Amino acid sequence: MLGSWIMKKLLEIVVLSLLLIPTLAMSEIFKDDEGKASLKTSSESGFKHHTNHMGHNDYNFKYIKDKNKARAGKYFQRFEVRDGDCFGDDNWNDCENDRERVEFSAEPEQLPKKNQCYGYSLMLSKDFIDTYPTTASLGQVHQQGGPTGTAEGLASFPPLIQIDAHGGYLYFNWHELSGSATNVIDRSQYHILKRLKDMKEVWTDISFCLDFENKRMDAWVDGIKKVEILKSPIFFKPKSIYFKHGIYRSFISKYKNFNKSKMPTQIVFYDEIRRGTSIEKVDININPKLKNVD
């Protein structure tokens, strides 16, 4: 009798411990038609899914269930990039172009028309290291069929917007493009969003709108407007635009040469990724009636 009682108590302890450990929600992960890792999204997000077209290692991405740590709902995403984490596809190779990344691209894409808004929650790990003078992009709006050129002697396909972490701050980086479609001139216009040290182990809500009709751009942090640019987001009109999130490190040789060391590991968390046609459809601080995105 004593032995069965002990076994029962041990079983209860094991079950309780499993319930307390954050778990991975594998039901939302799937392979697309090309065998690429994808994350299905809810109808509340404005997206159908996020896909990593370049691949990653198991440790680079986790979809985690832990309602106590999530920004809202039960689930959130964890990205980790280590030294040497460079990947590629049929058209690009990060390893050959001084880059490292793990990024997911969102579908569907959007036309560069009217007002296109994006919002997401971002949290840095407690030991997040600033890789200045190398930039870590933590969210981008990229282009399909946009202009091409070179950057520091390497091929370049410039985005429209990057949310960049470097030099102690998170920036809204608008790529002000000019020149020609095959030899584009790319000038980054940086606008401070928040200090990086204030983003460690704390969720920060980031949202921005690209208004192609009224030729302006606006960005908010935790519901407070931080950026207002009264210019058109584009000089060249791309076929479409699309949102990417994760960790993208460009020109990693700058950090290595400056610090005489390899690239540090960076860990970043994402949650509540949305798109819509107004700020009220993507920012829960401005519109508290928004439903959770899991």
Share of the chain above pLDDT 70, in %: 91
Looking at the structure, give the CATH architecture of the domain made up of residues 2-281.
Answer: Sandwich (2.60)
Q: Which amino acid is at 270?
A: Y
Local structure of residue 281 (DSSP, 8 states): G
pLDDT score for 7: 52
User: Can you give the residue ranges of every domain in the chain?
Assistant: 2-281
Measured between alpha carbons, how far is 121 from 282 in angstroms, rounded to an integer?
A: 11
- Residue 75 has a pLDDT of 94
* List of E strands, the chain: 23-24, 29-31, 37-40, 49-51, 61-65, 75-81, 99-107, 115-124, 135-144, 149-151, 154-156, 161-166, 169-180, 183-195, 204-211, 216-221, 224-229, 240-250, 266-276
pLDDT on residue 142: 97
Phi and psi at 91, nearest 5°, equal -115, -10
- Summary mean pLDDT of the chain: 91
The per-residue pLDDT for 22 is 46
How would you write the pLDDT of the chain (294 residues) with one tens digit per residue?
445 544 554 455 444 444 444 444 434 888 888 888 899 998 899 999 999 999 899 999 999 999 999 999 999 999 999 999 999 888 889 999 999 999 999 999 999 999 999 999 999 999 999 999 999 999 999 999 999 988 888 888 999 999 999 999 999 999 999 999 999 999 999 999 999 999 999 999 999 999 999 999 999 999 999 999 999 999 999 999 999 999 999 999 999 999 999 999 999 999 999 999 999 999 999 999 999 997
Distance (Å, rounded) from C-alpha 187 to C-alpha 174?
A: 8
Q: What are φ and ψ of residue 244, in 5° steps?
A: -130, 145
* Residue 4: predicted pLDDT: 54
Omega cis (within 30) before 108: yes
Amino acid at position 16, single letter: L
